[in-house]
Chain A
Amino acid sequence: MSLIYPKDSLSAYPAHLSPGYKSTVKRSPSKALIVVPHTLSELTGPVFGHDAIQDGDNDLTRQHKGEPLGERIVVHGRVLDEDKRPVPNALVELWQANACGRYVHNVDQHPAPLDPNFTGAGRTVTDSDGHYKFITVKPGAYPWGNHHNAWRPNHIHFSVFGHSFLTRLVTQMYFPGDPLFPFDPIFNSVTDEKARLRMVSSFDLENTVPDWALCFRFDIVLRGREQTPLDTDEH
């Protein structure tokens, strides 16, 4: 594997400081980051195998005695590198609110009911084609304290490991057509519209399971591309 990690690929990322999202004001570096070369320390990273997961870890509807309430959905997609090649054996973890918009986390005080049949955490490892799949329920929207009448759009948190420590990605998957998009400072911290829309899943009728569950597709593209002589010429 001889991947390189062009820094300009990160131009799609949100800035560290994005004042519309108030918590960034005191939690973003104020001094310029120091540019350093990628060494073996950055170009390597944790490797996960199928021993990292157990059967059923990717089905959030079967972790308790009964089934959770809410709209059952399938969420699937592929983890790819910048050349759109599959990233196999990538650990994908997710966590989310329940159908009412309430997290199991103790700090969450939103007055919406917890569901005894839903924790909201899952994990899987991508197959040889970079594919992953989860079964869950659609998370609800919920209010938060950022500004008056602030509501987060429905979203699922994703944590992904790829080929190196540089490809480490934590992001959020959104659902198509959410009316809260224009008002959410976290979603809009990604200022480029095309990049923003890459965080929005698409409705997948083909993989929707008749009489059982809607399907949403979310492909995740990580840093990293094949090193070619062309790349040297470009820069």
Chain B
Amino acid sequence: MSEITPSQTVGPFFAYGLTPKGRCDWDPNGSYSWKETVGSDLVTPDATGQKIRIEGQIFDGDGKAINDAMIEIWQADAQGRYAHARDNRALPNTQFKGFGRSATDKAGVYAFDTIKPGAVPGPDGKTQAPHIVVCIFSRGMLRQVYTRLYFADEAGNAADPILALVPADRRATLMAHKVAGDGIPLYRFDVRVQGDNETVFFDI
């Protein structure tokens, strides 16, 4: 019998501790005094690959943007390598860590500056299309929800073994779309927690 510690909600007041410098519009001085552990800019000076910006909103069951959520992302670098001991492939690597955290602001908007990830190994020798693992916390969520962000303009999506497990009519909820192409590409990725067009969440 497992004895793991149960999850509890992050509550409405995490920002000054977990995201003190990011998306901090609710503070008149722009930020709280506490230092930031991890922010929303994942790009390191030596990171190779295509720089991208990801932006979106998180909506509740009434279609209202959630303005007190925290979103965390985990991804491989441009070569498809995770900065973790379990990924021991001898590929060139950089200081790129692949982890980011953003709060949503008053308008429910989150944003990340990062590098487009490469394809990574999947189950049974298959290849997973470039994707980002997404984890969302908020008031009213007693436990986090996990989803994935894929890039709508990736040919590799058709053969992705995880997307293949998602009903075809719901796969679109996992697609980030390029909305601006000049300079650093901007991808839009909205999350609908509940209701019509509900984002696919994974039982992992």
Binding site for B on A (CB under 8 A): 1, 5-16, 18, 21-31, 33-47, 52-54, 57, 63, 82, 91, 93-95, 97, 103-108, 119-123, 157, 159, 164-166, 168-172, 186-187, 189-190, 194-196, 198-199, 219-223
* Alpha-carbon distance A120/B17, docked complex (angstroms): 8
Residues 1-43 (chain B) with a chain A CB within 8 angstroms: 2-18, 20, 26-28, 32-35, 37-38
**Chain A to chain B contacts (Cβ below 8 Å), 26 pairs:** A18-B142, A21-B140, A23-B140, A27-B66, A27-B138, A27-B141, A28-B194, A31-B198, A35-B202, A36-B162, A36-B202, A37-B123, A39-B128, A40-B122, A41-B131, A42-B133, A44-B84, A46-B98, A103-B16, A104-B32, A105-B15, A119-B32, A123-B37, A171-B8, A186-B142, A190-B6
Q: How far is the CA of A123 from the CA of B123 in the complex (A)?
A: 36
Tell me what chain A mostly uses at the interface: helix, strand, loop, or mixed.
Answer: loop
- Nearest 8 CB-CB pairings of A with B: A23-B140, A95-B17, A27-B140, A46-B99, A121-B17, A44-B84, A9-B2, A33-B203
Is A169 touching B83 in the complex (CB atoms < 8 A)? no
B142 x A189 contact (CB < 8 A): yes
Q: A46-B74, A199-B8, A221-B3 are in contact. Are A30 and B140 (CB under 8 A)?
A: no
Report whether B2 and A8 are in contact in the complex, using a CB–CB cutoff of 8 Å.
yes
Q: Nearest CB to that of A103 among chain B residues?
A: B13
In the complex, what residues of B have CB within 8 A of residue A198's CB?
Answer: 3-6
For residue A28, which residues in chain B have a CB less than 8 angstroms away from its CB?
140-141, 193-194
Name which residue of chain B comes closest to A35, CB basis.
B203
State the B residues within 8 Å of A (CB): 2-18, 20, 26-28, 32-35, 37-38, 60-62, 64, 66, 68, 72, 74, 76, 82-87, 97-99, 120-123, 128, 131, 133, 135, 137-145, 148, 162, 165-166, 193-195, 198, 200-204
Min CB–CB distance B21 → chain A (angstroms): 12
Among B87, B143, B198, contact of A40 (Cβ-Cβ < 8 Å): B87
- Within 8 Å CB of B200, what residues of A? 31, 34
A14 and B8 in contact, given A21-B140, A47-B83, A105-B15 (Cβ under 8 angstroms): yes
By the criterion CB–CB under 8 Å, are A170 and B8 in contact?
yes
Query: In the bound complex, do residue B86 and residue A12 qualify as a contact, i.e. CB atoms below 8 Å apart?
Result: no
A107 and B12 contact, Cβ closer than 8 Å, known pairs A12-B4, A91-B37: yes
B168 → chain A closest CB, angstroms: 12
How far is B11's CA from A170's CA once the two chains are assembled, in angstroms? Answer: 10
Of the candidates A33, A46, A105, A165, which one forms a contact with B16 in the assembled complex, judged by CB atoms under 8 Å apart? A105
Q: Given the complex of chains A and B, what is the CA–CA distance between A82 and B20 in angstroms? A: 32
> Which of A47, A53, A82, A122 meets B2, CB within 8 Å?
A82
Tell me which residues across on chain B come within 8 A of A15, comparing CB atoms. 142
